[in-house]
A and B are shown apart, each in its own frame.
Chain A
Amino acid sequence: MTQAQSQTAGRIPAEQPHVYSVSEITRDVRAILEAAFETAWIEGEISNFRQAASGHAYFVLKDDKAQIKCVLFRGQRMGVKFTPEDGDQVLLLGRVTVYEARGDYQVIVEAMEPKGLGALQKAFEQLKEKLAKEGLFDESRKKPLPEVPWKIGIVTSPTGAAIRDMIHVIRRRNPKMSILLYPAKVQGEGSAEEIAQGIRELNKRKDIDVLIVGRGGGSIEDLWAFNEEVVARAIAESKIPVVSAVGHEIDFTVADFVSDLRAPTPSAAAELVVPKLTDIEQDLQYLTNQMIERMEEDIEDYRERVRYLVDRRFFREPRQILEAPTQRLDEMVQRLLRGLDQWVLVKRGSLTQIGYRLFQASPSRQLKTLSERRIDLVARLQRRMESQINLKKEKLGGVAKSLGALSPLNVLDRGYSITTSQKTGKAVTSNQQVKKGDTVRIRLAKGQLDATVDETIE
């Protein structure tokens, strides 16, 4: 006690007192503070948080009774997995020191995490919210996976279980699927950058159809690379569809949200991405068969149509054309035949007349004699002709007979007579045909009379 007390108490210093410069005393205070609180865990609420262009961040940590200035330098800022905000309850590890230029005492933050919610959890929520606001999780951004990929790019550790599982599944489903692995560290320092780099490198190639980015299960810290913004950005920028496959089913990472498809595990990713070769082959076979069947049906239809057309247009119609004259010919033949019949009838008619005249001209006895003579003659000449001639004779006889039945001479038998004018020789059917004094011949059934007209009576 002390120099200061004695100095003040005495007012006038007995001996020359030590006079500090501001710098000196500040330096001493700083040394004392730094020695006393080399590191300290401090809990409080953040306020007045501000991020400087330099990358350093400044804020005030307070509770209900006091407050203390805090500095978060850029180097340490990187280690803080979340973005501190005013009102955050945090637990920080820091060194108490003095900012000599201002004489402010302050805490240099070495590490900080949110109280309650874990630091990583908070960081995850924050990045997720940020990227969601940018629209990176929008459904409209999601690219469809190729139905039939030929080469898969995988970004993961070459030594992990994930790659082994995926190769196993891919082999089983499609033994022709090629894989290009980009070996990347999937946890620890620099892993996020390596993963992002892998996604970009594989995007430079032309032969990759789809990407799987992931790793096997682990703690939230192990999976952390997949919650880093650099990975999320690389996935978002990928032209090739990306399937995320991080950890187990229960693990969700930011990479899952930004990728085109989230697979619950690496094995599941392989299942989702790789169609079964047998399915592809079946599809191809089915489509090809379907097409051939369709075409065959089509061709059969056309063949049917052609057959139909050929039937009608090229064959049936000419046939019809041919048929028409044939028909005409038939018709003409018919007509000719009919005409012939007619002619025969006419001839038969004249034959009848001839028969009649013959009958009139020659007595039946003479006819009979003639017939008999002819019969005899024919019989002598050729016996075979007999019946025919008989037939003809019978016919002729028949005709003559029927004609005889119609003969007016038969009427005479019944008492009628025929009067013919001597002058004209025609039968008199009207009193107008004769005059008084005309001579007429009256034919009776037997014989005839010549008579003179005495009078014509009406």
Chain B
Amino acid sequence: MAEIKFEKAMDRLEHIVEELEKGELDIDKSLEIFEEGIKMSRVCSKKLNEAEQKIEKLTKNQKGELVAELFPTDADEDVDDDD
């Protein structure tokens, strides 16, 4: 299964909350979307937890292809200084 986009998952979660709030669904359907909502919530937190900042810049390699390489920033130096 393709990875669910964070935003899509959030939207879905929001939609599920709305559906549950309307209270028009039967218990089976409610439980079904609730389960889906929990899944979406997990996907989102997982994504949030796993996300790590990468600051890169594109540079041409010897073959002339663009490759991403780390872009050093002041903040990196600050961190070093702080340490």
**Do they bind each other?**
yes
Choose among A175, A201, A291 the residue with the greatest number of B CB atoms under 10 Å from its CB. Answer: A291
Per-residue CB contact flags for chain A residues 129-161 toward chain B (1 = under 8 Å, else 0) read: 000000000000000001110100000001000
CB-CB contacts below 8 Å: B5-51 with A? 6-7, 10, 13-14, 16-17, 20-21, 23, 27, 30-31, 34, 37-38, 41, 44-45, 47-48, 51
Q: Contact: B41 with A295, CB < 8 Å?
A: no
Q: A146-B7, A287-B14 are in contact. Are A298 and B27 (CB under 8 A)?
A: yes
Cβ contacts under 8 Å, A287 to chain B: 10, 13-14, 17, 41
**Bound Cα distance A298, B74 (Å):** 52
Tell whether A399 is near chain B: CB-to-CB under 8 Å: no
CB <8 Å contact, A176 and B52? yes
A171 is contacted by which of B34, B45, B75 (Cβ under 8 Å)? B75
B74 A164 Cβ-Cβ under 8 A: yes
User: In whole Å, how far is A190's beta carbon from the nearest beta carbon of chain B?
Assistant: 15
Contact yes or no, A294 B21, CB < 8 A = yes
As a 0/1 sequence over residues 299 to 313 of chain A, the CB contacts with chain B under 8 angstroms (1 = contact) are 100100000000000
Q: Which chain B residues border A281 with CB–CB below 8 Å?
A: 48
Residues in A with CB closer than 8 Å to B34 are 291, 295
The docked-state distance in angstroms from the alpha carbon of A43 to that of B61 is: 51
* A288, CB-defined interface residue at 8 Å: yes
Q: Determine if A179 and B17 form an interchain contact, defined as CB atoms under 8 angstroms apart.
A: no
Interface magnitude class on chain A: 20 to 34
Q: Are the CB atoms of A181 and B20 closer together than 8 Å?
A: no
Q: Which residue of B lies closest to A149 (CB)?
A: B7
Question: Are A176 and B56 closer than 8 Å at their CB atoms?
Answer: no
Closest CB in chain B relative to A204 CB, distance in Å: 9
Q: Is A217 an interface residue (CB 8 A)?
A: no
Q: Report yes or no: B17 in contact with A294, Cβ–Cβ below 8 A.
A: yes
**Contact A180 to B48, CB < 8 A, known contacts A164-B74, A283-B10, A298-B20:** no
Given contacts A284-B44, A287-B41, contact A150 B51 (CB under 8 A): yes
- Inter-chain contacts of B51 with A (CB < 8 A): 150, 176-178
Residues of B within 8 A of A201 (CB): 58, 66
In chain A, what residue has the closest Cβ to B73? Answer: A167
Assuming the contacts A294-B20, A295-B20, A298-B23, asked whether A171 and B53 have C-beta atoms less than 8 A apart, the reply is: yes
B31 CB to nearest A CB, Å: 8
Distance in Å from the Cβ of B33 to the closest Cβ of chain A? 9
Contacts of B55 in A (CB 8 A): 167, 178-179, 181
Residues of A within 8 A of B53 (CB): 171, 175-179
Bound complex: CA of A284 vs CA of B12, how far in Å? 11
Contact A290 B17, CB 8 Å, known A146-B7, A284-B41, A298-B30: yes
**Distance between A161 CB and nearest chain B CB, rounded to angstroms:** 11
Chain B residues near A283 (CB-CB < 8 A): 10
For the complex, give the distance between the alpha carbons of A146 and B17 in Å.
Answer: 21
| Docked CA distance A9–B75 (Å) | 91
* Complex: A280 Cα to B44 Cα, angstroms: 10
Would A291 and B75 be within 8 Å (CB), given that A179-B55, A179-B56, A181-B57 are in contact?
A: no
Given contacts A158-B71, A291-B20, A302-B27, whether A148 and B54 have CB atoms under 8 Å apart is no
A436-454 contacts to B (CB < 8 Å)? none
Decide: A288 and B41 in contact? CB cutoff 8 A: yes
- In the complex, which of the residues B6, B17, B37, B41 contacts A148, with contact meaning CB atoms closer than 8 Å? B6
Name which residue of chain B comes closest to A280, CB basis. Answer: B48
Contact of A284 among B16, B31, B45, B56 (CB under 8 A): B45
Does B30 contact A147, Cβ atoms closer than 8 Å?
no
Q: Which of A154-200 contact B (CB under 8 A)?
A: 158, 164, 167-168, 171, 175-183
The contact sample of 10 A-B pairs, CB cut-off 8 A, is A150-B51, A167-B75, A168-B75, A178-B53, A178-B56, A181-B71, A182-B57, A287-B13, A290-B17, A298-B30
A interface residues (Cβ-Cβ under 8 A, vs B) = 146-148, 150, 158, 164, 167-168, 171, 175-183, 201-202, 277, 280-281, 283-284, 287-288, 290-291, 294-295, 298-299, 302
- A-B residue pairs, 9 tightest by C-beta: A176-B51, A294-B20, A181-B57, A288-B41, A178-B54, A295-B34, A179-B55, A291-B37, A287-B13
- Chain B positions within 8 Å of A, measured between CB atoms, are 6-7, 10, 13-14, 16-17, 20-21, 23, 27, 30-31, 34, 37-38, 41, 44-45, 47-48, 51-59, 66, 68, 71, 73-75
